[in-house]
Amino acid sequence: MVAVYKETARYLEVASHSLYTITFGCESPKAKILLCGPGPTHRLYSLAAWVRWARFLAQHNCIAIRFDYRGTGESTGKFVEMTFEDWWDDILQMSAWADAEFGHTPLVLHGIGMGGLLAQKAFTSGRGDALLLWSPSVHASDVLDQALIMRLSMDLMQLKPENRKSAQQYVADLKSGMPFEAEGYSWSYRLWESAGAIHLDPAFVRPSEGAEGNRPWRHFALGTGLVPLALSRKLQRAMHPGAVRGSDQPLSPDFNSFFTMNLDWLLRILAKPSPA
Amino acid sequence: MREAMTIEIDGRCVQGTCHSGASPGRRGVLFFNSGAQPRSGRGDLNVRLADAFAEQGYPSYRFDLPGLGDSEGELPPSHFAFHRLIIGGGYANFGVNLTRLLLQAHQLEDMVLMGICGGALTAVYAASLLAPAEVAGLVLLDLPFYLETRQTDARAASSSQNSLGSKGRRAAGLLRASVRDLVLRQSWAPRVITIYHKTLNRLSSVKAHQMPGNTNREMLKAVAGLFSQHMPILLFSAPHPKSEPPHFDFIDYLRRTSNGHLQHLEMPITTHSFVEVGLPELVEESALKWLSRQSQSGSTS
């Protein structure tokens, strides 16, 4: 009953959790691209577009591997118990799996938002043969700040002024062990604390390209024309749980020219002598 | 336990997740995507619920509809067009095919169809096309009762194109603001404004007894058909915002026409997503109680 496709979904066991992964395969791969997705709230809006990019890569002879971080999406684990180190470790484990599964095909670490930040840390620690970043988060705490803002805006909608907390009060509650809820996730002090030490290395902060030794990297900034791949406050407000009707923004924009630009860069760097 | 599933329906590769417990019964639960969200739902609510149901013996399934999440397929160009598609039952046939495929492949007796908002609509339309023996019931969260209006579409289209229409509306807005400022400066303003608001509220109350013109009557007809087949439905709703004028009480309408087959639960403070503090637990507990009652009263799991 279950047909065998080039798109293979499976669970991989990582540190007592099961990570959900999909491999978008191809016949003669030039590279394997590990897609390190955004934080869970950004994933809600961007997943379909992210998967379209994975299919685009597979159609152009690049294996694409997407996965959900432990405690999020289809992967097992409780979000409230997670830290940024856990998610960084997920990228390291997925890189190791990709290398074992697909042999010596060059590995490109590719991240968006929070995934970009963590992919850069993995790259700098020696993983991957190349790095592709799409608007990486500069600080891990940015992810938490966005969640806190969503919490405060929901309080504004739902609670009387005397019942609302300030941002400082929420942080104080976190420190005393009380997670705050935002977008359906429980954000814990463990997660908050783990964010403190994780920042994008200065060389990667601005859109540009470079190399670490003979391992190239590129940072593309996602503009508003690339919503929902780009995180858009307007889209978040329109798709807010209190707003039933939705957005007047396009649902499935054509990103082929942006995809092609990225593919061209990948093919260019892959055409150079293999760094492995 | 979760299992990744990849199947083909209508020539498209559709990705999903199967949740099963230690002692799976023969009644499954099938979730449909809410709006354009992936199958996990906001805050991964659907994942949590599917795990909970599976633990209690109800194998649960979540598949991304074509074009959404991980599944192949094309989508309409805009969110409004997408909403119109769902509101009109555009995913119903897919829902029917998926349900039958899972019933057969996993040797289930029947399926409970479930969803939030757009997912609830898809569940209703799919159930209305399936045989009564195939569907054990529906669990619906915030079932929407209205059609997408053309006015909303036109406004969105013209505002994005900076057309004469949008310029006209801006001019009208400026004129309204000027008139409002002029009225507010008059000594008789407070009394007139009070009478104006009282009249508006009275009109809203009168209108609230009539089904509005943009009611999704096709969907209500489908629900009526399900009630006539004695289909049990558990309906969760979020409270009506106090800031909005009174509206036609669709829940009461369904209750009166359900022949006792509707159980309605209005959740305390929550938004359309049901992920506010304490709500996932409440939905989980209530849905499990309802599933258990259905199993005891009719075909067993």
How confident is the model over A89-122, as pLDDT tens digits? Answer: 999 999 999 999 998 899 999 999 999 999 999 9
Alpha-carbon distance B11 to A135, whole Å? 35
List residues bridging with B17 in a β-sheet: B4, B62
Q: Band of the pLDDT at A155, cuts 50, 70, 90?
A: confident
pLDDT band of B243, cuts 50, 70, 90: low
Among A66-80, A109-123, A138-152, the range scoring the smallest mean pLDDT is A138-152
Residue with tokens 């020696």: A126
Per-residue pLDDT band at A1 (split at 50, 70, 90): very low
Residue pair B60/B19 in contact (Cβ under 8 Å)? The answer is: yes
For residue B64, pLDDT over 90 is answered with: yes
Is the pLDDT reported for residue A247 higher than 90? Answer: no
The pLDDT mean for chain B works out to 87
* pLDDT one-digit tens code per residue, B255-277: 999 999 999 999 876 677 788 77
B70 interaction partners in chain A (CB closer than 8 Å): 9, 22, 47, 51
pLDDT score recorded for residue B154: 45
Rg of chain A taking only CA atoms, in angstroms: 19
Intra-chain end-to-end CA distance of chain A, in Å:
40
CA A126 to CA A222: how far, in whole Å?
A: 26
Whether the Cβ atoms of residue B15 and residue A22 lie closer than 8 Å to each other: yes
**Chain-chain contact of A249 with B144 (C-beta, under 8 angstroms):** no
Q: How far apart are CA A57 and CA A55, in angstroms?
A: 5
A254 in B contact zone (CB under 8 Å): no
CA atoms A39, A42, A43, A44: torsion sign? positive
Residue A236: which pLDDT band, with cuts at 50, 70 and 90?
Answer: low
Q: Does A51 touch chain B (CB under 8 A)?
A: yes
pLDDT-above-70 percentage for chain B: 85
Which chain B residues have a beta carbon less than 8 Å from that of A64?
A: none
More confident residue, A11 or A197: A11
Which pLDDT belongs to residue B155? Answer: 47
pLDDT exceeds cutoff 70 at A7? yes
Over its C-alpha atoms, chain B yields an Rg (Å, rounded) of: 22
Query: What number is the average pLDDT over the span B67-90?
Result: 92
Which of B15, B67, B74 lies closest to A22 in CB terms? B15
- Taking residues A20-27, report their average pLDDT: 95
Question: Cβ separation of A181 and B277 shorter than 8 Å?
Answer: yes
Between chain A and chain B, how many beta carbons pairs sit less than 8 Å apart? 132
**Sheet of B110-116, strand order:** B2-9, B12-19, B60-63, B27-32, B110-116, B135-141, B233-237, B262-266
Return d(Cα A222, Cα A134) in angstroms, integer.
6
User: Would the CB atoms of A241 and B7 count as touching at under 8 Å?
Assistant: no
pLDDT tens for each residue of B80-123: 889 899 999 999 999 999 999 999 999 999 999 999 999 999 99
Among A79-88, A163-172, A199-208, the minimum mean pLDDT is found in: A163-172
pTM value is 0.88
Average pLDDT over residues B294-299: 76
CA B182 vs CA B168, B187, B189: distances in Å: 21, 11, 10
Beta-bridge partners for B180 = none
pLDDT for res B299: 46
Contact residues for A264 (Cβ-Cβ < 8 A; gap 6+): none
How distant is the Cα of A219 from the closest Cα of chain B, in angstroms? 25
Longest CA span, chain B:
76
Determine the residue among B2, B3, B6, B150 to mutate to test chain A binding: the one whose Cβ has the most chain A Cβ atoms within 10 Å.
B6
For B135, the token pair is 């569907």
Query: Do A252 and B117 lie within an 8 Å CB cutoff?
Result: no
pLDDT band at B300, cuts 50/70/90?
very low
Chain B interface includes A183 (CB < 8 A): yes
* pLDDT on residue B204: 61
pLDDT more than 90, % of chain A: 68
Inter-chain contact A248–B156, Cβ cutoff 8 Å?
yes
Per-residue confidence (pLDDT) for residue A111, from 0 to 100:
98
pLDDT interval class at B62 (50, 70, 90): very high
Higher pLDDT, B159 or B74: B74
Which of A1, A241, A245 is opposite residue B105, by nearest beta carbon?
A1
The token duo for B240 is 């009506």
How far, in Å, are A13, A249, B43 from residue A227 at the CA level? 33, 9, 20
Q: Beta B12-19 vs A7-14: how paired, if at all?
A: unpaired
Using an 8 Å Cβ cutoff, are B130 and B99 in contact?
Answer: yes
Q: Say whether residue A210 is in contact with chain B using an 8 A CB cutoff.
A: no
In this prediction, residue B78 has a pLDDT band, given cuts at 50, 70 and 90, of confident
Q: Are A121 and A84 in contact (CB under 8 A)?
A: no
Lookup result for tokens 């506010």: B276
Over range B276-298, report the average pLDDT.
89
Phi, psi values for residue A32, rounded to 5°: -115, 130
Of all residues in chain B, the percent with pLDDT exceeding 90 is 61
Average pLDDT in chain A:
89
Which pLDDT score is estimated for A128? 96
For residue A258, CA distances in Å to A64, A209, A219 come to 17, 16, 13
Q: How far apart are CA A188 and CA A178, in angstroms?
A: 7
pLDDT tens track for B122-166:
999 999 999 999 999 999 999 999 987 654 444 444 454 556 776
Residues in chain B with CB shorter than 8 Å from the CB of A47 are 38, 69-70
Inform me whether the C-beta atom of residue B3 falls under 8 Å from chain A C-beta atoms.
yes
Chain B residue with CA closest to A24: the answer is B70
Q: How far apart are CA A93 and CA A11, in angstroms?
A: 13
Dihedral pair phi/psi, residue A42, rounded to 5°: -70, -35
CA A246: distance to chain centroid?
24
With H, G, I as helix, E, B as strand and everything else as coil, classify residue A106.
coil
